[in-house]
Structures are given as structure tokens and as C-alpha cells.
Amino acid sequence: MPSELIQVGEDSCLKFQYSAGIYGSRFLEGLREGRILASRCARCRFVLVPPRIVCANCYAKMEEFVSVGPEGTLETFTQVCFPFIDPETGRRRPVPYVYGLIRLDGANNTLQHFLEETDVSRLRIGQRVAAVFRETRAGTLLDIQYFRTVKEL
């Protein structure tokens, strides 16, 4: 047996560049312009966000872009409370934060995004929310700052 058990450490730092592609670049351009683009299937008419080349419902090629939202319905949500390292930065992501799955008006699926409301006792599934765009936009998902609660009459 060895006299001690040795572990060898590694502290890696890698840079990545992910291509958004044709559909993703169109989506991100849309966000930069302050609108949310989805793809519509010519065969089954499903509208999906983010837009993509293959329909997730019937697998036909999707070619048409349509605007969805900016309002929608909250399908589910969670408040993330535990600490963890964010692989995007290599540092701890600030917690707590709240995100949800939002069914944007006109879309058949949901978009996962942050919610402004951080008190989960004030959130309920089925409530109306609306995208809040940043003043300065860079062509990323975070051009939408978060979804705010829409006051119901």
C-alpha cells in the first residue's frame, strides 16, 4: 500500500464560442430589435421558440418566422436557492433567483427565462407575465432582462 493517497489537481479555464446558426442568429437579431421570434411549421402549424430547423412536433423542416409574446402565461417556476459554480463565468452564480417556463402568446411550447418577482408566494402557475427588454441590447437571450407579472383586472 502507498504511504499516502495522492490526488492531482487541475484548474482548467477554457474559452468557448458557440454558433447560434441561421435560426438562432435570426432569433437573437430579433431580441436585439425588441421582439421574440419563433418558427412556424408549414405542415402542422406548430409555433416553437427558440426557432429551429426541425419541427419538434412533426419533424418537418421549419422555414417561416413569426413574432410571439411579448406577453405569456407562466406554466411553472422555481426559486433557485443553493450555491453553485456557473460554468459560464467560473464563479458562483448569485442566488436566490427565480425562473420559469413561459408560454408566450402564439407559441405552442415555452421559453425558459428569469422572473422579476423574487417572492415565490406571490407567483402562481397560470398567471400572466410580460417580457421586459433591456435598454441596451447585444443580441443575447439576456436582452430580455426578465418577465414581469402582468396585473390582472
Query: Pairing state of beta strands 47-48 and 144-149?
Result: unpaired
Q: How far apart are the first and last CA of the chain?
A: 74
Check binding of 40 to another protein (CB under 8 A).
Answer: no
What counts of helices (H) and strands (E) characterise the chain?
1, 10
Cell of 50: 427558440
Q: Which is nearer to another protein, 22 or 85 (CB)?
A: 85
Check binding of 67 to another protein (CB under 8 A).
Answer: no
Amino acid (1-letter code) at residue 52: R
User: Which member of 26, 65, 101, 130 binds another protein (CB under 8 A)?
Assistant: 101
Q: Contact letters (x/-) for another protein, 112-141, by CB under 8 A?
A: xxx-----x----x--------------xx
Instruction: Name which of 118, 26, 51 is nearest 80 in CA terms.
Output: 118
Site for another protein in 19-38 (CB under 8 A): 20, 24, 28
**Residue 131, SS3?**
strand
Residue count, binding to another protein (CB under 8 A): 47
Cβ pair 70, 104 in contact under 8 A = yes
Check binding of 109 to another protein (CB under 8 A).
Answer: yes
Stretch that binds another protein, among 62-70, 76-84, 127-135 (CB under 8 A): 76-84
Query: Pairing state of beta strands 36-40 and 144-149?
Result: unpaired
Check binding of 66 to another protein (CB under 8 A).
Answer: no
Q: Would you tell me which residues interact with another protein (CB under 8 A)?
A: 5, 7, 10, 12, 16, 18, 20, 24, 28, 46, 48-50, 52, 54, 56-57, 75-82, 84-88, 93, 99-101, 103, 108-114, 120, 125, 140-142
